[in-house]
Every structure is written in C-alpha cells, then in structure tokens.
Amino acid sequence: MKRYQITIDGQTFDVQILSDPGQDTVQVTVDGEALTVGVGVGAGPAGDGGKVAAPAPAGGSAAGAGVPAPPKAPETVEVAASDVTAPLPGVIKSIAVRPGQQVSPGQELLVIEAMKMDNVIRAGRAGVVEVVHVAEGHRVAHGQLMVEYRA
C-alpha cells in the first residue's frame, strides 16, 4: 500500500493507494475517506490529459479550485466462502475451469501471473463452478472476484 502527501492549492491531502494502480479504476483513501478513482493518461475528467482532481475534504470545499465532491465510499461486497478472489494483483494467464464443471479440493482453477511468476489458484473445497468472472489476458486487482462456485 503506497501512501502520499499531495498538496493542491495550499491544501494537503493524505492519500493511500489500496489496489492495483494498473487498473482503469483504483481504490484509494483520501484523508481516511474511501474512494474509487479513474486512472490513465488522457482518461481524466473532461479529457484533461490524465490530471486527477482531489476531492474536497469532508465538511469543507476546495475554495474556487473547481474540485468535484467525492463519490460515496464503495459498497462492501459479500463473498461466499466458496467464491475465489484474487490473492494478489496480476494478469490471468490461464483458466482451467468452466461453468458447470465439478471441482474438487486442491484442483487448479486458474493461474495469475504476477511479477513474472505463475501463481496457481486452487479450489478450497468441492463444488460446481457457477460463474467465471475473468478472462485470459485480463488484469485482476487484489480481492477481485474471479470464480463463483457452489458446494
């Protein structure tokens, strides 16, 4: 988790990056408030060439800075014990299961490549694959839901 002190128009913000900054959206906290922000050159608001505007602090405004109000904190998503989330950010290298397939404990579900290493993700218990939420070649963030299966 990276932490930064960012000063905009004389106001200093404590910013922590909580998820993989290689994604199109990133989970951050700004002065303790959880936010989801867009990332990318040229992908900033109103085609501003990738510049990111910091949200106004709670209870105040960034006087005349033209800074938008922060979005609400992301909702908590409940994940079932048999659902498989990414244990680390990376790229999906291969998927070994498909919806409707029976899996047993320890069976390979998919492989995430991270830092030039292959990380095999295995089933924690027996079940039937319901949904595969990722595709080969796509990036995943830490904690992202990848596979749902039922016992």
Can you tell me which residue has the tokens 């595969």?
132
Tell me the whole-structure pTM to 2 decimals.
0.48
Question: 75 with 92: CB under 8 angstroms?
Answer: no
Question: 84 with 132: CB under 8 angstroms?
Answer: no
Question: 25 with 34: CB under 8 angstroms?
Answer: no
pLDDT 10s digits, 128-140: 999 999 999 999 9
Can you tell me which residue has the tokens 């989330």?
85
CA distance 38 to 24: 6
pLDDT 10s digits, 74-125: 444 444 556 888 888 999 999 999 999 999 988 999 999 988 899 999 888 8
Q: Which residue ranges form the domains of the chain, and what is each CATH number?
A: 1-76 (no CATH), 84-150 (2.40.50.100)
What are the C-alpha distances in Å from 8 to residues 42, 86, 99, 145? 20, 34, 48, 35
pLDDT 10s digits, 12-57: 777 777 777 666 777 777 777 777 777 654 444 444 444 444 444 4
> Up-side HSE of residue 91: CA atoms within 13 Å toward CB?
9
